[in-house]
């Protein structure tokens, strides 16, 4: 090192730290020989704390602000004042910057299923995952308990340990909560508060706090979820017989959709099963109930006859429409005769009234025309 470089290092230090990594928790201010000059300016920004370590001992913690390191309680001497020691000061001091902002969107999850006793399903296993945030609440304690002399400490170095604490606390709380599995989704907020309180007690020993903790999902093993789905399907079906029919229909649909190895056979089998099931349902009451005992119910009456609307043709002109009652009244008034041509929808052309069976009865009560003289 040249003399100019050495002398330039003896000017007043400006100590500060800006971080763009978003994952650095502690950073040590590097100085040649760890010598902090008398009168150095120390800048601590919002979201930071500066821990002053002198001769290996933690001396003070600086909160956000601007400080001039020149008071009598700051035992800092420049190397120029100790030329008799070969320009090496015997007083070694260090500044550690601690990031006190929240480190959020950190993931946690149960690596292995948690065993618990559910009041409805009995012994079962479940998994859970979510997010959390961590914050340095006591910079001095965090530095002495976790960081030590690490010059750059990141969140990744402690996240694994925190996840283990979370999983351990979550397992203990969830197993002793007594909340049924099916009701946990509605109580994730309260469970999250309980877990966060328990975790905060543990991580406080490291100078940390957990300001946010979220449970995103609690799930059962796939086999248990499949059994729940079947149980739900059975509940929708109403009874075991209906659920059996539902399962047969699902199997029939799957066989019909199978394109490999005899799809036509599957489709034909599905049609046969469908017809058999339809016949079975027809012989049962609603929702698969057995038919009521006793004699067979009488056949329903036939539908009422359709009322026709008629038109008549006289002297090249059509009149109408008329109902059958209108035609009966006209027959009584001698305005409709047996030879009058009539027509209605569905009839093949015009016909004489007496040739239409429905209208011929209108003339049975009338005497036929008198014979010719």
- The residue assigned the tokens 């470089």 is 5
Least Cα distance to 206 among 269, 142, 253, 256 occurs for 142
Q: Is the pLDDT score of 276 beyond 60?
A: no
Each residue of 31-76: pLDDT tens digit?
Answer: 766 567 767 788 999 999 999 887 778 888 999 999 887 644 444 4
In the chain, DSSP finds a helix count (H) and a strand count (E) of 9, 16
Residue 135 CA to residue 323 CA, distance in Å, equals: 92
Q: Are strands 351-352 and 341-344 parallel, antiparallel or unpaired?
A: antiparallel
Q: Which region among 3-7, 30-34, 131-135, 161-165 has the lowest average model confidence (pLDDT)?
A: 3-7
Each residue of 151-207: pLDDT tens digit?
Answer: 889 999 888 999 999 999 888 888 887 788 888 878 888 888 888 888 999 999 999
Provide the pLDDT for residue 221. 78
313: confidence class by pLDDT, cuts 50, 70, 90? confident
Cα-trace Rg, the chain: 48
The rounded mean pLDDT for the chain is: 76
Query: H-helix or E-strand containing 136?
Result: strand 122-136
Q: What is the DSSP secondary structure assignment for residue 121, as one 8-state letter? A: T
Q: Tokens in use for 301? A: 């009456």
Instruction: Give the residue with greater pLDDT, 244 vs 349.
Output: 349
Provide the pLDDT for residue 132. 93
Each residue of 199-226: pLDDT tens digit?
Answer: 999 999 999 999 999 999 888 878 777 8
Q: Is the pLDDT score of 4 beyond 80?
A: no
Q: Is the pLDDT score of 112 beyond 60?
A: yes
Q: Is the pLDDT score of 81 beyond 50?
A: no
- Of the chain, the percentage scoring pLDDT greater than 90 comes to 17
Q: Is the pLDDT score of 109 beyond 80?
A: yes
Determine the longest span between alpha carbons in the chain, in angstroms.
Answer: 170
Provide the pLDDT for residue 258. 65
Q: Tokens in use for 313? A: 């043709």
Provide the pLDDT for residue 103. 93
Provide the pLDDT for residue 256. 66
The C-alpha angle 17, 22, 26, rounded to 5 degrees, equals 50
Under 8 Å between Cβ of 58 and 144: yes
Provide the pLDDT for residue 92. 64
The C-alpha angle 101, 103, 107, rounded to 5 degrees, equals 165
Pure H helices in 12-155: 139-142
First to last CA, the chain: 159
Q: What is the set of domains in the chain, with CATH numbers? A: 3-99 (no CATH), 103-220 (3.30.479.30), 223-258+266-277 (no CATH), 310-363 (3.30.1490)
359: confidence class by pLDDT, cuts 50, 70, 90? confident
- Length of the chain counted residue by residue: 373
- Alpha-carbon torsion (356, 359, 360, 361), positive or negative: positive
């Amino acid at each position: 090192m040249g003399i100019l470089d050495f002398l330039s290092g003896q000017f007043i230090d400006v100590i500060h730290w800006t971080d763009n990594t978003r994952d650095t928790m502690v950073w040590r201010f590097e100085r040649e020989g760890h010598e902090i000059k008398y009168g150095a300016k120390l800048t601590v920004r919002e979201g930071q704390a500066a821990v002053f370590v002198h001769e290996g001992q933690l001396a003070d913690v600086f909160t956000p602000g601007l400080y001039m390191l020149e008071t009598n309680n700051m035992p800092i001497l420049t190397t120029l004042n100790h030329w008799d020691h070969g320009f090496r000061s015997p007083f070694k001091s260090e500044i550690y910057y601690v990031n006190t902002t929240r480190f959020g969107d950190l993931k946690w999850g149960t690596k292995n299923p948690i065993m618990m006793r559910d009041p409805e399903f009995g012994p079962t296993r479940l998994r859970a995952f979510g997010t959390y945030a961590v914050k340095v609440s006591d910079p001095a304690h965090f530095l002495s308990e976790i960081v030590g002399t690490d010059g750059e400490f990141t969140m990744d170095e402690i996240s694994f340990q925190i996840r283990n604490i979370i999983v351990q606390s979550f397992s203990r709380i969830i197993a002793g909560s007594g909340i049924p599995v099916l009701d946990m989704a509605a109580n994730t907020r309260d469970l999250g508060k309980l877990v966060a309180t328990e975790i905060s007690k543990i991580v406080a020993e490291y100078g940390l706090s957990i300001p946010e903790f979220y449970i995103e999902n609690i799930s059962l093993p796939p086999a248990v979820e499949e059994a729940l789905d079947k149980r739900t399907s059975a509940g929708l079906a109403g009874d075991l017989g209906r659920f059996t029919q539902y399962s047969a229909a699902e199997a029939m649909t799957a066989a019909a959709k199978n394109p490999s190895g005899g799809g036509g056979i599957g489709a034909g089998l599905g049609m046969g099963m469908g017809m058999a099931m339809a016949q079975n349902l027809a012989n049962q009451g609603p929702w698969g109930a057995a038919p009521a005992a006793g004699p067979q119910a009488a056949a329903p009456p036939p539908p009422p006859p359709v009322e026709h609307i008629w038109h008549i043709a006289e002297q090249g002109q059509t009149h109408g429409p008329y109902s059958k009652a209108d035609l009966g009244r006209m027959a009584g008034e001698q305005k409709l005769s047996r030879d009058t041509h009539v027509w209605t929808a569905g009839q093949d052309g015009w016909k004489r009234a007496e040739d239409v069976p429905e209208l011929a009865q209108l003339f049975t009560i009338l005497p036929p025309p008198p014979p010719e003289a």
